[in-house]
Structure 1
Amino acid sequence: MLVLTATEKGWLDEYRAVLEKEFPGVVEQLLIFGSKARGTATEDSDLDVLLILREGDWRLKEAITKPGYMLSIETGVVPSFLVYTREEWEARRQGQAPIWQTITRDGVAV
């Protein structure tokens, strides 16, 4: 049950617009996970964001999160990013680490 504040929804809309403009066709999927996706967030919760890219390297991963952090300065929304290529995500998702299982179970595509 995804629960976002109006400010977080605004941040998400602006961030998606920036991604579409500056990185067209790069992001395959954007998911919100963690307490916001489960509907258990508190006032101090950050916004956990998973970006799955068609392909890329560390430079692209760094560049693609920068606008999100810049928007956080303006809005006060605190994003926490995980960024993987589709290949990296599929390899990790098969693992037994609780974080991957949680994201797979609770993540909400937006």
Structure 2
Amino acid sequence: MGISKGRPILFMKLAENEEKALKELREKLFAQYPIIDIRLYGSKARGEGMEDSDLDVMIEIPKYDWVMVAGIDELIYGINLKYDVFISALVFGKDELDEGPMSEAPIYKVIQKEGVSI
């Protein structure tokens, strides 16, 4: 089942460079990989982030693949440098979230509760 699509993110509390970074991340991920969902969670999603807070992102892919994850990490690294942000990503396979131990993990519960699709 994975994470269902949530409400679209409202960029009211994000700096312009953060908004641009997340937009580019979304566009490039969906263009290059079989992405199921991308969720912003944490202080920025709650509207409580400080200027130097990171952008916590969970990326759901069909099946965990370390080669794909390495490519995603490289993409994020470039976006972080380009926009002077720090995107901190967790990448999970759909099966991990549906049936694996992550389905009961506290961090996943937080992402389900406060995460917003971007």
Task: Name the TM-score class by shorter chain.
Answer: 0.7 to 0.9
Partner of 1:22: 32
2:96/2:103 contact within 8 Å kept: no
After superposing on structure 2, the runs of 4+ consecutive aligned residues of structure 1 that deviate more than 4 Å are none
Gaps of 5+ in 1: none
2:96 pairs with 1:88? yes
Structural mapping, 1:69-108, within 5 Å: 69-90=77-98, 91-95=100-104, 97-108=105-116
Query: Using the alignment, how far apart are the partners of 1:76 and 1:54 within structure 2?
Result: 30
Q: How many residues align?
A: 107
Unaligned 5+ runs, structure 2: 1-8
Q: CA deviation at 1:20?
A: 2.8
What is the SS of the residue equivalent to 2:78? helix
What is the DSSP-based 3-state SS (H/G/I as helix, E as strand, rest coil) of the residue aligned with 1:13? helix
Identity percentage of aligned residues: 33
| Structure 1 vs Structure 2 CA RMSD | 1.7
